[in-house]
Amino acid sequence: MPRPRILVVDDDPDLVRALRLRLQANNYEVTSAGDGDAAIASVTKERPALIILDLGLPNGDGFVVLERLQNSQALSGVPVIVLSARDPKNNEQRALTAGATAFFQKPADNNELINMISFSLSPRSTQSAPSSS
């Protein structure tokens, strides 16, 4: 059974590397992108199982990426976990309304992050929303 692929979108290469090592140790495949355009190109080429998204990206922030994902028929079902150094006070609600599954503030506890990833990828959570009556 192929390992689920996670796309990590963050412009900090050191952080991406650390996350890659940890996610691989937890049996995930990892691809990465350093900005919004690279992220969209990557998901268009191959749909990931889950996306970890930083908000502070060069050339347009994570919210732009979220919007583009939401507007895409094919990609709006991919769970997105926002991992950002920004203050949840203003950003958590905005991210969740924009379609993110969860908001973690950096530095995020590794166990909590891994649990959330595993929960987001479990069969029940990927059930598509029933059509409104």
Partner 1 sequence: MDHPTTQVLLIEDNPGDADLVRLRLLEGKSPVNVNCVNLLSDGLASLTRETPSVVLLDLNLPDSRGADTFRRVLEHSPNVPVVVLSGQDDESLAIEAVHQGVQDYLIKGNISGGHLERAIRYAVERQALLRSLEITRKQQLEFKDQFLSHVSHELRTPLTCIYQYVSLIQDGLAGPVSPDQSDHLKIVLKSVNQLRAMIHDLLEATRAETGKMRIEPRCISLGELIRQTVAMMQPTADEKKIGLEIGVDQRLPLVHADPDRVLEVLINLVDNAIKFTPPDGSVLVQACVVEADPGSVYISVTDTGRGISPEARVSIFDRLYQDADSVDSNRSGLGLGLFICREIVRLHQGRIWVSSEPGQGSNFTFTLPTYSLAKLLGPVITHHDCLRRAFVLVTVELTPLSTAPPRNWKQTWRQCLEILRRCIFLDKDLVLPPMATGGAAETFFVVASTDLDRSRIMTTRIREALERVPDLQSKCTLTITAAPVDLPADISTRSPEQQIQSVADLVTGMIKTGLDRKQPFTGKTERYSN
Q: Which residues bind partner 1 (CB under 8 A)?
A: 12, 14-15, 18-19, 21-22, 25, 56, 85-87, 89, 92-93, 96-97, 99-103, 105-108, 110, 112, 116, 119-120, 124-125, 127-130, 132-133
Backbone angles phi, psi at 67, to 5 degrees: -60, -45
CB nearer to partner 1: give 27 or 127.
127
CA–CA separation, 81 vs 102, rounded Å? 5
Min dist CB 61 to partner 1, Å, is: 13
CB of 46 to partner 1, least distance (A): 24
Q: How far is the CB of 44 from partner 1 (least distance, A)?
A: 23
Check residue 98 and report its DSSP letter: T
Decide: 59 and 35 in contact? Cβ < 8 Å.
yes
Contacts by 17-21, CB closer than 8 A, 24 or more apart: 19/52
